Amino acid sequence: MNTSSSPPPARHRSPSSVPKWITIVFLVLSGLYMAVGGGWLIAVGGSPYYVVAGVAMLVIAWLVWRANGLALWLYAALLLGTLIWAIVESGFDFWALAPRLDVLVIVGIWMVLPFVLRIFTWPRQSGALALGATIVLSGIALAYAVFNDPQELDGTVRAAPSAAATAPAQQDGDWRAYGNTQTGTRYSQLAQINAGNAHELKEAWRFRTGDMKGPNDPVEITDEVTPLAIDGTLFFCTPHQNAIALDGATGKEKWRFDPKLKPDPSFQHVTCRGVSYYETPAAEQARAAGNTTNLPMCARRIVLPVNDGRLFELDAASGKPCPEFATNGVLDLQHLQPVKTPGQYEPTSPPIVTSKVIVVAGAVTDNYGTREPSGVIRGFDVNTGKLLWAFDPGAHDPNAIPDDQHSYTQNSPNSWAPAAYDAKLDLVYLPMGVTTPDIWGGNRTPDQERYASGLLALNASTGKLAWFYQTVHHDLWDMDLPAQPTIADIRDQSGNIVPAIYAPAKTGNIFVLDRRTGKPIVPAPEQPVPQGAAKGDRLSPTQPFSQLTFRPAKNLTDADMWGATMYDQLMCRVIFHRLKYEGPFTPPSEQGTLVFPGNLGMFEWGGLAVDTDRRIAIANPIALPFVSKLVPRGPGNPIDPPQAGQAGTGTEVGIQPQYGVPYGVELNPFLSPLRLPCKQPAWGYVAALDLDTNKVIWKKRIGTTRDASPIPVPFRMGMPMLGGPMTTAGHVFFIGATQDDYLRAFSTDTGEKLWEARLPAGGQATPMTYEANGKQYVLIAAGGHGSFLTKLGDYVIAYALPDKH
């Protein structure tokens, strides 16, 4: 009988070879995991792929045990099917394809290695060719995805400057306020460093403050400071609010003032974003005459907020307290507070300073309880510290000042982020937070909600309300305005110049308002949002959605879940389906709610950088979901706070008590069992916005995994950020912020990376630029961020071009 075309009889070899057993064990364990986990996923409403793949792996394992070459054909079919499924689910996005394919491709390569391949009988050669072809095809798809990133957008900023009138930038080489000016643009007209030479930047000097985390500090100790630069001298504060003055050209210390802050682990923050500057009329006249030295003491002043509720005015020349201000230079901000526990009311951002008034606001501990300090905003005489006015956002009459037998309203909404100021209108613009507890609001009064989670405009001289625009109604997600708003003039649809203010929100929306009236310039229509409040709470049926936005274009699905491998990706899919999620503003729940954009927000305190000459904004949104889970009262979760002990948790994540309401809350990033984000990258990017058209011009991933993974491999995935950008007339912008420790320079025109410098610690501070002795410097504070898990340090580092420039 002719049997040349028939397969040879199967030979029952003893499965004793090491490669064979390695292959079998891997396939059996993987197949069981995928089949069981995939069945769970189907049960909660997810993709059937994992069950199919798991069963296929078990069959392949049996064929390998039989030494049957059909195992190669079936594995090739599994890999090809996975490739097709992956592309259908996620397109040609490399970081979305990688966890779906990485393990299967590696094992496929293993199976065609000669010492493994020899264990198979018929049809070994054809099976090896088929598997090899699918491996090559997978490699081609991955390579194509590397160079065709669907999450990035290429474009070029218009070349010609816009002709519109603009908010003024700082005209000289100074950086006189947190955002360069109090308009909050983070834009400098210095152009010695430009897109053509930024790659030549070198470290000019570095300074170490000596202010490091101590044993009594909370987790949330952060270095978020942006220094001031005035007449060649730098002024800044450290995390423990030491005020320091340095020579801007050399980095040499001129003076230091220590306010003797005594934090404890219950402080939710130990941080200082900056100091403010004030010149008396005599000093202004002297400057106009060219005299910036030999001035009387305290003719020029540094205003220093301290986390325990004090405010200092210091002589800018010596660092000594100004004796005529308040009580020997220090003002007690705890006066008339209903709760005076240190650390529960914290001024963390530099105040607005006008020619007459210091406007002071502060943070209140999130989610501690229903008896906390007031978020009152106050105006003090800039020379004497006398209280001129108050605006208590939770009071029936916000401008009422209580007598010494009463206090401001407890738990009124607070304004913790930096404010902006329009000197022509004499209006101060305050980004407002929510009445705490943040994640349950059934007990909030109409007065407590009236000025919460929105942009508040007050007359800086009187404290009277000009207008208020609410960006989130009945906020149960801590979706406050987290950043300094930015003042810029733009053209409306009719071509008229309109004085605008830009308010970036945690939701990813950028609200664009007429800063005279608070009326939207860019429409922000109310849209229906998910319902189903927790017991005893309520929800707004609609929320405003600005048409200028970086918010997600669509709701997350299990196809957006991620992992380093298919194994943790499967678990993320299961977790996703077990959470409550119906899109933005899904209400908090005992089940656990997926909050996306997450509690960090798409925008955080870094804000926008706006080139007011060309009306281009640089943004650095992040996309990291959180999980919010309401915890009912019971053993270990009392409704009342302890009589003694810490008055806070020292962090904004984990279990938060929310004393006085029916639930505590657990807040955490949405992470896999391997502690990786469950949402696929990018988690952070930089982008340019045309403020005339409200269009994104370009968008690029930023940041690598170098300092955020056990293996320091710099994969450019687009990392989460804390901190903001700074841009210049040289068409270059600078940003640290990412979880890898770098300061980077990019072309404002195209988003191309021009330069980067390795930092000795996390760069979660917004950089600034200034001129000293005719040279432009770029400076960043590199001190890290405790809860963001970047390396802590105490560095201030300046960069400049080599002297040939």
Q: Would 607 be classed as within a structural domain?
A: no
Q: How much is the pLDDT for 644?
A: 57
Among residues 120, 28, 32, which one has the least CA distance to residue 69?
Answer: 120
Q: Would 582 be classed as within a structural domain?
A: no
pLDDT tens-digit map of 220-260: 899 999 999 999 999 999 999 999 999 999 999 999 999 99
Query: What distances in angstroms separate CA 646 from CA 261, 333, 334, 701, one per listed residue?
Result: 17, 21, 19, 41
CB 125 within 8 A of CB 117: no
Query: What distances in angstroms separate CA 424 from CA 172, 185, 515, 713, 793, one per listed residue?
Result: 20, 16, 11, 51, 40
Tokens of 289: 């005459």
Q: Does residue 3 register a pLDDT over 70?
A: no
Q: How much is the pLDDT for 645?
A: 52
Confidence of residue 650 (pLDDT cuts 50, 70, 90): low
CB 525 within 8 A of CB 200: no
Distance linking the first and last C-alpha atoms of the chain: 90
Q: What is the 3-state secondary structure (H, E, C) of 616-637?
A: EEEECCECCCEEEEEEECECCE
Q: Would 103 be classed as within a structural domain?
A: yes
352-353/243-247 β-pairing: unpaired
Q: Report d(CA 669, CA 306) in Å as an integer.
A: 29
The number of CA neighbours under 13 Å toward the Cβ of 59 is 14
For the chain, give the mean pLDDT.
93
Q: Report d(CA 72, CA 70) in Å as an integer.
A: 5
Q: What is the 3-state secondary structure (H, E, C) of 501-541?
A: EEEECCCCEEEEEECCCCCECCCCCEEECCCCCCCCCCCCC
Q: How much is the pLDDT for 605?
A: 92
Instruction: Please give the torsion angle defined by the CA atoms of residues 86, 91, 96 and 101, in that order, rounded to the nearest 10 degrees.
Output: 30
Q: Report d(CA 621, CA 653) in Å as an integer.
A: 20
Q: Does residue 719 register a pLDDT over 70?
A: yes
Confidence of residue 11 (pLDDT cuts 50, 70, 90): very low
Q: Report d(CA 192, CA 185) in Å as an integer.
A: 19
Q: Give the other-Cβ count within 10 Å of 710's Cβ.
A: 6
CB 658 within 8 A of CB 512: no
Q: Report d(CA 615, CA 609) in Å as an integer.
A: 10
- Give percent of the chain above pLDDT 90: 86
Confidence of residue 185 (pLDDT cuts 50, 70, 90): very high
Tokens 């099976």 — which residue?
127
Look up the domain containing 97 and give its range. 18-146
Q: What is the 3-state secondary structure (H, E, C) of 37-86?
A: HHHHHHHCCCCCHHHHHHHHHHHHHHHHHCCCCHHHHHHHHHHHHHHHHH
- Count the domains in the chain: 1
**Beta-bridge partners for 770:** 777
Q: Would 722 be classed as within a structural domain?
A: no
Query: What DSSP designation does 408 have?
Result: P
Tokens 């300092």 — which residue?
707
Helix (H, G, I), strand (E, B) or coil at 146: helix
pLDDT tens-digit map of 585-611: 999 999 999 999 999 899 999 999 999
Q: Would 54 be classed as within a structural domain?
A: yes
Q: Is 217 a catalytic residue?
A: no
Contacts of residue 136, Cβ cutoff 8 Å, sequence gap at least 6: none
- The stretch 733-746 carries a mean pLDDT of 98
Contacts of residue 793, Cβ cutoff 8 Å, sequence gap at least 6: 212, 223, 760, 761, 762, 782, 783, 784
CB 311 within 8 A of CB 333: yes
The number of CA neighbours under 13 Å toward the Cβ of 583 is 11
| Exposure string for 608-618, b = 16+ CB within 10 A, e = fewer | bbbbbebbbbb
Residue 218: asked if its preceding bond is cis (omega within 30°), the reply is: no
Tokens of 197: 């030479």
| Chain centroid offset of residue 88 CA | 31
Q: Would 69 be classed as within a structural domain?
A: yes
Confidence of residue 647 (pLDDT cuts 50, 70, 90): low
Amino acid at 440: W
CB 206 within 8 A of CB 797: yes
Q: Would 623 be classed as within a structural domain?
A: no
- The stretch 747-773 carries a mean pLDDT of 98
Confidence of residue 13 (pLDDT cuts 50, 70, 90): very low
CB 32 within 8 A of CB 62: no
Q: Decide: residue 783, CB within 10 A, 0-12 exposed, 13-18 middle, 19+ buried.
A: buried
Out of 322-331, 574-583, 705-714, least confident range: 705-714
Containing 375, the helix (H) or strand (E) segment is none
- Give percent of the chain above pLDDT 70: 95
Instruction: Please give the torsion angle defined by the CA atoms of residues 607, 613, 616 and 621, in that order, rounded to the nearest 10 degrees.
Output: -10
pLDDT tens-digit map of 41-74: 999 999 999 999 999 999 999 999 999 999 999 9
Q: Would 192 be classed as within a structural domain?
A: no
pLDDT tens-digit map of 293-350: 788 999 999 999 999 999 999 999 999 999 999 999 999 999 999 999 999 999 999 9
Query: What distances in angstroms separate CA 332 from CA 185, 312, 325, 462, one per listed residue?
Result: 31, 9, 11, 21
pLDDT tens-digit map of 397-432: 999 999 999 999 999 999 999 999 999 999 999 999
CB 701 within 8 A of CB 712: no
Q: Report d(CA 64, CA 21) in Å as an integer.
A: 9
The number of CA neighbours under 13 Å toward the Cβ of 51 is 12
174, 422, 475, 478: the active-site residue = 478
Among residues 68, 200, 71, which one has the least CA distance to residue 122?
Answer: 68
Confidence of residue 160 (pLDDT cuts 50, 70, 90): low
- The stretch 201-208 carries a mean pLDDT of 98
Confidence of residue 713 (pLDDT cuts 50, 70, 90): confident
Q: How much is the pLDDT for 1?
A: 40
User: Phi-psi bin for 474: left (phi > 0), alpha (psi -120 to 50), beta?
Assistant: left
